[in-house]
A and B are shown apart, each in its own frame.
Chain A
Amino acid sequence: MSKSNFTRRGVLKTGAVAGAGLTLPTYLRAQDSGFTNAPTGDTVTLGFNVPQSGPYADEGADELRAYELAVEHLNGEGDGGMLNTFSSQALDGTGIMGKKVEYVTGDTQTKSDAARASARSMIEKDGAVMITGGSSSGVAVAVQALCQEAGIIFMAGLTHSNDTTGKDRKANGFRHFFNSYMSGAALAPVLASEYGTDRKAYHLTADYNWGYTTEEAVRSSTEAMGWETVNAVKTPLTQTDFSSYISPVLNSGADVLVLNHYGGNMVNSLTNAVQFGLREAEANGKNFEIVVPLYSRLMASGAGANVKGIYGSTNWHWSLQDEGSQAFVRSFGEKYGFPPSQAAHTCYVQTLLYADAVTRAGSFAPCAVGEALEGFEFDGLGNGPTLYRAEDHQCFKDVLVVRGKENPQSEFDLLEVVEVTPVDQVTYAPDHPQMGGADATLGTCNNGA
């Protein structure tokens, strides 16, 4: 009979220690690198947190397509897309710093709680070193705060509220997409030149964060041009039939209706406004006009012929003729068979910008990446020369004013760019009152771990 040196207590102790070690989340095991989820092997994992269910699932699907394309290009597959036109040229198609890019996805459901839970899962279980995506400002603000606490970089997807890089800005969060202030500043001069400076506006505003900041931005910009705001009514986010809100507009003394609505809200409110004859109406001796501050092609296709001739703003449009946009549209179009949306564009660009910043910084550490992004000036990504401003982590670039096309050639050909508003016209001070004033700060960057 052989004699064993194992004791029951010893086995239990060893087992407990080994078990605890194995079950520790990945990010705790990477503590020795000094930051959360430091990639240790020959791969790096990115977390794509997009709405895969819920009302913005179509935007989410397009974001995911763009992320997959970006990963392909970073790993040297496909035609390289915007890697060929990006002014930085630090990326060479060998992944990020020689590590092959892999990704995990989460479903935000366009709910803050669900989005935080999926982001947390990707950070803690999958070891994602960066989180990106989303199609709602509420989600962006919530996930950005989570990433700040966890010590992860957050590259926002489609989020247009001022607050994301305004009062709720965070050192670990970065936004490429434009914002409500920029929409207002770009739209107001075009509206004044098209419709005159003596106009009375009636706002219908979605009753949540994005709606408020958009209304505030468009009001202040148009009032500065001489317009008067006769009324501003908040509409429930769940509203589908807007007839009760639209019909009083005709007798309100207003001659312009501003729909601060997005997604399904916008499709239905615009449809109702057209059905109630607002487009043919006259008020104060002028033609009645409708304005939609934030347009997207996916939304415009939902609204059909109702968008014809209606002005709005957008972050990017596939019909742009610059080299970067063309390269992206070609890659995306050949892979998926249709042109990308603005949500897809911003997500693709954010992924490239993150990879480029890591490469230039020579580190995945969030603070080093943040430093590389802060004040970074670049071109070739579809919006002309762009600055990632250090003070608030907001990208400053030209803004597109668009109009619903009268004679679309295809189901994608719904908007036409009527003006490219120069970046100087949409730039504001980091402590602008609409951005949280002097109290708004980034805080300190967090490496986590």
Chain B
Amino acid sequence: MDQIIVQILNGLDKGSAYALIALGLTLIFGTLGVVNFAHGALFMLGSFCAVIMSRILSASHEVAVPGETDFLGNPLTRDQPYVYDWFGEAAGATIVDWAVPISILFAIPVMIGVGFIMERGLIKHFYKRPHADQILVTFALAIVLQEVVKYFFGANPIQTPAPDAFAGSLDFGAWLGFEPRTIMYPYWRLVYFLFAGVIIAAVFGFLQFTTFGMVVRAGMADRETVGMLGIDIDKRFTFMFGLAAAVAGLAGVMYAPIVAPNYHMGMDFLVLSFVVVVVGGMGSLPGAVAAGFLLGILESFASMPWMVDKLPGINQIIIYLVAIVILLTRPRGLMGRKGVMED
């Protein structure tokens, strides 16, 4: 029983990341009709926002360490962050320590800007082109973005730790009445799950309870009619692209302490996120979220040692197997609507 709970918990944070990426993908597909293969790269850029902010806050000047020498025998210097000089050592250390949560403030405008530039600069030219063209151009964009990141940050993963306050693990087992330390769950993963919940609720709330959201939903259902009512739906859809980019970026920022950011992480998530969108139902936001969590948890179960022992390789194919079964039984996915991508 404890192992089942452990794997459900493990699936929740992975599912949260899938759900957030798939949510953005679905938003873009639902509004603009574009299959955005660069969406994983936006997730990766988000995690590098955390790296950049962490480096900005750690920007240092050299201070001599009397009596010690470096590896070449020269007088040793150590790096002292400027924030230590400005705010004192204790406050400076706290600011550096909280780099990842602080990055959220940095990532939101950056990612909306990136999304806006992507949409206005490139993707809008492909609205009337076939999906194959859109896939090719966005995939190429993803490769360009990851190579740019590799050029500036290298190929090795970059450790971006969570604040010390969230460094440990919650003894979930003791909390549920099991033996102590049988079910451990890192605090930061719990934070990630809750954060994902807040973002998903905010996006749904925005679409459901604001006039802007109502117009967007109307545009998703019937773009032509909304346009004929004199509403500039294109402008709103451009904003939605920026919003989707910000959601992917925020998913990436908060994921940085879970998996050390590297230039390839977007590609690792991209294919799985597309499966999530298809399983959830093309164009269905609740479907994307539900499928994200479902597939995240299933993937965790399939990675359990006894499962891999009995069915070697199951951990690598489980998501695709489930996708096949769901698409055979429900061709439009779990919550897909009639007429979406069926022309």
Which residues of A approach B to under 8 Å, CB–CB?
53-58, 61, 231, 233-234, 236, 238, 240-241, 243-245, 247-248, 250-252, 263-264, 267-268, 271-272, 275-277, 280-282, 298-299, 301-306, 318-319, 329-330, 333-334, 339, 409-410, 412-413
Contact = CB atoms under 8 A, between A and B. Distances in A.
A240 B303 contact: no
Contacts of A282: 181
Contacts of A264: 156-157, 260, 262
5 contacts: A238-B268, A243-B189, A251-B3, A264-B156, A281-B184
Given A231-B305, A301-B156, 16 more contacts: A55-B262, A240-B265, A243-B14, A250-B181, A250-B182, A251-B2, A264-B156, A267-B159, A268-B260, A275-B167, A275-B169, A275-B186, A409-B78, A410-B71, A412-B71, A413-B71
What is the interface residue range for chain B against chain A?
35 or more
B315 A236 contact: yes
B168 interface: yes
A241 B7 CA distance: 13
B328 interface: no
B155 interface: yes
Contacts of A329: 71-72
B114 interface: no
The 5 closest A-B CB pairs, nearest first, are: A244-B303, A304-B159, A57-B155, A277-B169, A275-B186
Interface in B154-198: 154-159, 161, 167-169, 181-186, 188-189
B26 interface: no
B308 A268 contact: no
A189 to B, nearest CB: 29
B76 interface: yes
B119 interface: no
Contact of B308 (A53, A234, A412): A234
Nearest to B264: A55
A248 B156 contact: no
A302 B159 contact: yes
B10 A339 contact: no
Interface of B: 2-3, 6-7, 9-11, 13-14, 68, 70-72, 76, 78, 150, 154-159, 161, 167-169, 181-186, 188-189, 257-260, 262, 264-265, 268, 299-300, 303-305, 308, 315-316
Q: Summarize A's interface: helix, strand, loop or mixed.
A: helix
B257 to A, nearest CB: 8
A143 B257 CA distance: 37
A245 B72 contact: no
Contacts of B264: 55
Contact of A248 (B72, B161, B305): B305
Contacts of B2: 251
A245 B303 contact: yes
A267 to B, nearest CB: 5
Contacts of B183: 247
Contacts of B76: 409-410
B316 A236 contact: yes
Contact of B182 (A55, A236, A251, A280): A251
A274 B190 CA distance: 16
Contacts of A57: 150, 154-155
A304 B156 CA distance: 12
Nearest to A240: B259
A333 B181 contact: no
Contacts of B10: 243-244, 247
Nearest to A246: B10
Given A233-B305, A244-B299, A267-B260, A303 B154 contact: no
A275 B181 CA distance: 13
B56 to A, nearest CB: 17
B155 A55 contact: yes
Contacts of B265: 240
B217 to A, nearest CB: 34
Nearest to A247: B6
Contact of A281 (B161, B181, B189): B181
B259 A275 contact: no
Given A243-B14, A244-B300, A276-B186, A306 B71 contact: no
B159 to A, nearest CB: 3
A298 B156 contact: yes
B309 to A, nearest CB: 8
Contacts of A280: 168
A319 B71 contact: yes
A248 B308 CA distance: 13
A61 to B, nearest CB: 8
Nearest to B10: A243
Contacts of A55: 155, 262, 264
Nearest to B70: A410
B78 A410 contact: yes
A339 B299 contact: no
B138 to A, nearest CB: 21
B184 A240 contact: no
Contacts of A241: 14, 258-259
B245 to A, nearest CB: 22
A175 B182 CA distance: 45
Nearest to B6: A247
A58 B158 CA distance: 12
Nearest to B161: A304
A233 B308 contact: yes
A276 B315 contact: no
A231 B305 CA distance: 9
A227 to B, nearest CB: 19
Contacts of B150: 53, 57
Nearest to A276: B184
Contacts of B13: 243
Contacts of A245: 303, 305
